[in-house]
Every structure is written in C-alpha cells, then in structure tokens.
Amino acid sequence: MATQTSIPFIDLQSPWRELEPQIRQAMDRVLGHGQFIMGPEVAELEALLADYAGVSRALTTASGTVSLELALRALDIGPGDEVITVPFTWISTAETIAQVGARPVFVDIDPGTYNIDIALIEAAITPRTKAIMPVSLFGQMPDYDRINAIAAAHGGLPVIEDGAQSFGATRHGRRSGGVTTIGSTSFFPAKPLGCYGDGGAVFTSDPELGMKMEALRNHGGLQRHDHPYIGLNGRFDTLQAAILLAKWPRFAWEVQRRQAVGARYSELLRGYLDEGGRGRTPHIEPGNTHLYAQYTIRMAGRERVQERLKAQGIPTAVYYPKCLHEQPAFRFCGYHRGDFPQAEQAAGEVFSLPMHPDLDEATQDRIIKVFTGC
Ligand SMILES: *Cc1c(COP(=O)(O)O)cnc(C)c1O
C-alpha cells in the first residue's frame, strides 16, 4: 500500500516553476514578432549549441529522429548501403537507417556501459558499409577516438554519434556532439536538454555537410524556390528555440546535478548490488562524465524489486525490454535471438530509477530504503 506521495520518474515541473517568468517572456517575444518559422531565436540558439559542442555548425531540427535522418541523407546513404549500429537502443537509431533505404548492421554491446563493443566493429565492416552510427546510451559516450580510428582505417568511413541521451556529457573533456563526422541530439522533453515539444539538433565541423543538412532540413534548398536536393520539413519551431534559450542558463547546473545524483545513487547502491552480488550499478569508463539521462542498473529477477518500489509509489522503467533485431520491423535484416547475447541479456536485466536534476537527497534516501528492503 502506498503510504507516501508518489515520486515522479522525471520532474519537468520544478524547472518550469523556477523559470516560468523567463520562459513566458521568451514565448511572448516570439508571439510579438510573429516569425514562427526560422525566427531569430533559432539562429541564436544554434550559435550557443555550436559553441557548447565545440563545432563550427549546429543546426536545430524537428526531432532527434529527424536529426539522424538528416545526417544519413547528407552522407548520401541509401539503398544498397549498410550502416553499423547497436541493437540495444531506442528504435530511432536503426529506424532512420531503414528509412533512408539502407540496412542496419548490428554489433553487440559492451555489458558494462551498454554502448557498442568496439572490438566487434571491424568484423562487421563490408564493402557496402557507408557509416558507423554508435549511440551514447544513457548519457555516456563510447570511446570515439577508437571508433574514429577504425573508421579512418576503412577508407575514411563517416561516424555519426546518436547523442540523443548524452547532450552535456564529455569524454576526455570533449563534449558529446562534437567528436564525430556528424553529431546528433534530441530535445524531447525528458532528455537532458528538453524543450516543451519535439526537437533536436545536428552538429558538424564539415562546412559542406553543414550546408547540405541545412538545405535538407528545409525541403532541400537554401533559397526559396530553388531545391537542389529531395529534402524534408525538418525545422525546429521558433517558440521551442525561445523556450530552450530561456532554459539554457540552468543547463550547466542541471548537468552537474545529474552527475551528482547519479554518483550518489551508485554510492548508496554499490554495497547492496555490486558487493552483495545482486546486480550492477552503472559502470563509468575512465575519462567520461556520465549524465544519467537514465540511471540504469541491472539485476537478474528485476521484477521483484520493481514491484516493491511500485507498491511504495516509486516508478521504474525498462530501457529497453526488447532488442531491435527482435522487433518485427527489422525482420527483413534476417537476425535471430542469440545473435547478440550481451544486448539480449541486458534487455532482460536492466531497469532505471527516477532520475532528474531536482531529485533531492531525502527522496533518494527513500528510494534506496525501499530498494534494499531495509
Ligand atoms: C530519444 C532518442 C532518439 C529520438 O529522439 P526524438 O527527439 O524522440 O525523435 C534517438 N535515439 C535515441 C538513443 C534516443 O534516446
């Protein structure tokens, strides 16, 4: 029986309460000038994002999914091509590869970080491979230096980072978005930098790719009534850009808080899980900061703990209960259960705890108490 109020899995209310006047003002400005599509706030935000990610060009988009599609299209990836990625991720990663007509080639994950197992990439490369698209899952980047080196050794294959969960994370001081040929992120409300609707961005320091993605985002042209490419409507709303500009001053604090809240979870759970032999807290690779877009642990028989937490009003979630190679949509790829044992085992064992920058210590202590059953 729930004896206390239930805890939100992600708290979108606290930032809103704190920033309400600034957000309303920013939205009012847009309503006043009326440039709802590609208004001045869009370019203003893109300049901030490019500077933050350490690239020459950031382009906002309609979503993280559209971002990945723009990246693939800008690289001319299509029918007959293969793109290497992971089967343990949100559907968008492989969906966009199939969407442009190419074939996702899955590589198993590292069981510690849940990111791509870099040692397995080379064996998956064929003459048809046109790109490598790793995911920075749960808010931690894989070793892009190693991945970029493998790509370079194979004819300069482009690397696309799916950083939908990792905007704000670093590896050896370099930020997610700025370490590959093209970086991509999402501003879906629950992501580390969330707007109040759908949105995303792509990042590059290659001027030609930047120009091409800019054109593709707006029906394949940079000038009105001139369309060199088949593009799409992939633009970000001016209102959403204004909202992110108003939220931006809080973001650095939120990144720090995420790291602190995640580290505290691990400190409090390590004895019960890792040392108690019951499961594993998140593994952070040396040189990385972890944003804990999801604070994800693993335990065989997770359902018992999930039930115990739920009974006390504490929500949990499983990201992801089913690997992409086992989704009916990807049956055409010809994979079977058993092809990616680490991904499959993770799908059966992981679950995530409430996680957001405003999670206070008392609430976290209550979660830990119920979790460990003492
Ligand atoms: C959220 C997410 C996306 C897609 O972002 P949307 O903005 O929802 O389209 C892509 N990849 C990963 C890994 C994600 O978590």
| Residue 120 included in any domain | yes
Query: Which residues have CB under 8 Å from 74's CB, separation 6+?
Result: 182, 209, 212, 213, 216
The per-residue pLDDT for 1 is 44
Angle, nearest 10°, between helix axes 207-217 and 64-74? Answer: 120
Query: Which residues have CB under 8 Å from 84's CB, separation 6+?
Result: 105, 106, 107, 121, 124, 125, 129, 131, 132, 133
Cα(181) to ligand 1 centroid in Å equals 19
- Give the mutation target among 92, 95, 184 for probing the ligand 1 site: most ligand atoms within 8 A of CB: 92
| Residue 41 included in any domain | yes
Cα(239) to ligand 1 centroid in Å equals 20
Cα(335) to ligand 1 centroid in Å equals 23
Instruction: Verify that 160 and 304 share a domain, yes or no.
Output: no
Specify the ligand 1 atom closest to the Cα of 137.
13
- Give the mutation target among 10, 67, 93 for probing the ligand 1 site: most ligand atoms within 8 A of CB: 93
- Give the mutation target among 10, 83, 91, 186 for probing the ligand 1 site: most ligand atoms within 8 A of CB: 186
- Give the mutation target among 10, 90, 97 for probing the ligand 1 site: most ligand atoms within 8 A of CB: 90
| Residue 139 included in any domain | yes
Cα(58) to ligand 1 centroid in Å equals 17
The per-residue pLDDT for 354 is 98
Instruction: Verify that 274 and 130 share a domain, yes or no.
Output: no
Instruction: Verify that 257 and 148 share a domain, yes or no.
Output: no
Angle, nearest 10°, between helix axes 13-33 and 238-269? Answer: 170
DSSP symbols for 287-305? TB----SSEEEE-TTHHHH
By the 8 A CB rule, do 260 and 215 touch? no
Q: Which of 218, 245, 272 is the last residue of a domain?
A: 245
Instruction: Verify that 75 and 190 share a domain, yes or no.
Output: yes
Specify the ligand 1 atom closest to the Cα of 68.
10
By the 8 A CB rule, do 15 and 250 touch? yes
| Residue 2 included in any domain | no
Strands 57-61 and 82-85: unpaired
Q: Give, for 59, the enclosing helix (H) or strand (E).
A: strand 57-61
By the 8 A CB rule, do 216 and 229 touch? yes
CB environment 123-153: b (16+ within 10 A), e (fewer): ebbeeebbbbbbbbbbbbbbbbeebbebbee
| Residue 179 included in any domain | yes
Q: Which of 210, 226, 245 is the last residue of a domain?
A: 245
The per-residue pLDDT for 5 is 75
Specify the ligand 1 atom closest to the Cα of 92.
10
Q: Which of 230, 245, 260 is the last residue of a domain?
A: 245
Cα(201) to ligand 1 centroid in Å equals 11
From CA 329, how far away is CA 126, in angstroms rounded? Answer: 23
Report the domain count for the chain: 2
Strands 350-353 and 182-186: unpaired
Range of the domain at 280: 249-372
Residue 286: left (phi > 0), alpha (psi -120 to 50), or beta? beta
- Tokens 């892009």 -> residue: 144
CATH number of the domain where residue 233 is located: 3.40.640.10
Q: Whose CA is nearest to atom 14 of ligand 1?
A: 164
Instruction: Verify that 286 and 305 share a domain, yes or no.
Output: yes
Structure tokens at 25: 């003002």
3-class DSSP state for residue 233? Answer: strand
The pLDDT profile of the chain, 374 residues, written as one tens digit per residue, is 445 678 999 999 999 999 999 999 999 999 999 999 999 999 999 999 999 999 999 999 999 999 999 999 999 999 999 999 999 999 999 999 999 999 999 999 999 999 999 999 999 999 999 999 999 999 999 999 999 999 999 999 999 999 999 999 999 999 999 999 999 999 999 999 999 999 999 999 999 999 999 999 999 999 999 999 999 999 999 999 999 999 999 999 999 999 999 999 999 999 999 999 999 999 999 999 999 999 999 999 999 999 999 999 999 999 999 999 999 999 999 999 999 999 999 999 999 999 999 999 999 999 999 999 86
Q: Whose CA is nearest to atom 7 of ligand 1?
A: 64
Q: Give, for 171, the enclosing helix (H) or strand (E).
A: strand 170-171
From CA 125, how far away is CA 131, in angstroms rounded? Answer: 9
The angle subtended at Cα 221 by Cα 217 and Cα 225, nearest 5°, is 130
Q: What is the pTM of this model?
A: 0.97
Structure tokens at 31: 């309503």
- Give the mutation target among 162, 235, 237 for probing the ligand 1 site: most ligand atoms within 8 A of CB: 162
Specify the ligand 1 atom closest to the Cα of 188.
7
By the 8 A CB rule, do 255 and 168 touch? yes
By the 8 A CB rule, do 199 and 61 touch? yes
Query: Which residues have CB under 8 Å from 208's CB, separation 6+?
Result: none
Structure tokens at 172: 């050896």
Instruction: Verify that 163 and 49 share a domain, yes or no.
Output: yes
By the 8 A CB rule, do 99 and 77 touch? no
Instruction: Verify that 33 and 53 share a domain, yes or no.
Output: yes
| Lining residues, ligand 1, CB within 6 Å | 63-65, 89-90, 92-93, 135, 162, 164-165, 186, 188, 198, 200
DSSP-assigned beta bridge partners for residue 233: 218
Cα(259) to ligand 1 centroid in Å equals 21
Cα(184) to ligand 1 centroid in Å equals 9
Specify the ligand 1 atom closest to the Cα of 186.
7
Instruction: Verify that 221 and 347 share a domain, yes or no.
Output: no
Instruction: Verify that 258 and 240 share a domain, yes or no.
Output: no
Instruction: Verify that 125 and 177 share a domain, yes or no.
Output: yes
Specify the ligand 1 atom closest to the Cα of 67.
9
| Residue 312 included in any domain | yes
| Residue 241 included in any domain | yes
Instruction: Verify that 200 and 83 share a domain, yes or no.
Output: yes
Please give the torsion angle defined by the CA atoms of residues 48, 293, 152 and 334, in that order, rounded to the nearest 10 degrees: -130
Instruction: Verify that 346 and 287 share a domain, yes or no.
Output: yes
Q: Whose CA is nearest to atom 5 of ligand 1?
A: 64
By the 8 A CB rule, do 266 and 272 touch? no
Cα(202) to ligand 1 centroid in Å equals 12
| Residue 188 included in any domain | yes
CATH number of the domain where residue 318 is located: 3.90.1150.10
H helices of the chain, where? 13-33, 40-53, 64-74, 92-99, 121-124, 144-153, 207-217, 238-269, 302-311, 341-349, 361-372
